[in-house]
A and B are shown apart, each in its own frame.
Chain A
């Protein structure tokens, strides 16, 4: 990579067409930096919002209650192999089963 002074000296010697190209490159680079900075601010704002949203999410519930609710959320399936699940049917009259 060349140093800044060498770059500036080179630009001073460029013909007008080449200067226009350099100008376009500089504009594009400046715009990219602006967008990059805006994107980073968006990301930081999003993370801050996520932290704020969860900081007091469970307010009003005890740890035991939260354990129960999150267990309900994560419960996966009822094992159909449980032989007692429909045992109550055996107590019904045959024509009502």
Chain B
């Protein structure tokens, strides 16, 4: 199984959230694939840059990124995200562009999005919340 980690999973892991960490370790032990994709990199890095967290930025790229799988967005993912945006907007709801891109990638890879963000539930993707025991 492929799991795409949302930014809130990274922030939980960076703060050693016990339940999220346990879920992450179990998935690795099971041989599942854990993905940190470009939109999530972007959200993490923007927070670090804004606060001039240079050591954390270095640790992120040197010690964390290499331990996860990286999958790049394709042109098709951007198109699918645009379709999701239109579908959700026509229902009178809002989703962030980052969420839509993650959902498009998850659909292409038949992956599960890991997030505590319930906004994903408006999209046709599978979601797990690792904060739950």
Chain A residues in the interface with B (C-beta under 8 A): 43, 46-47, 49-55, 57-61, 65-66, 68-70, 72-74, 76-77, 79
Contacts and interface: CB of A to CB of B under 8 A. Distances in A.
Interface SS of A by simple majority: helix
A43 B28 contact: yes
5 contacts: A54-B13, A58-B14, A69-B48, A69-B50, A72-B46
B11 A72 contact: no
Contacts of A46: 28, 67
B51 interface: yes
Interface of B: 7-8, 10-11, 13-16, 21, 24-25, 28-29, 31, 43-44, 46-48, 50-51, 53, 55-56, 59, 63-64, 67, 94, 96-99, 119
Contacts of A79: 94
Contacts of B24: 50
A66 B15 contact: yes
A73 B46 contact: yes
Contacts of B63: 49, 52-53
B6 to A, nearest CB: 9
Contacts of A60: 55
A82 to B, nearest CB: 13
A55 B11 contact: no
Nearest to B14: A57
B52 to A, nearest CB: 10
Contacts of B55: 59-60
A58 B53 CA distance: 9
Given A43-B29, A72-B47, A54 B96 contact: no
B64 A50 contact: yes
A57 B7 CA distance: 15
Shortest 8 CB-CB contacts between residues of A and residues of B: A73-B47, A76-B96, A53-B63, A72-B47, A70-B11, A77-B96, A69-B47, A57-B14
Contacts of B56: 57-58, 61
Contacts of A50: 13, 24-25, 28, 64, 67
Nearest to A60: B55
A47 B14 contact: no
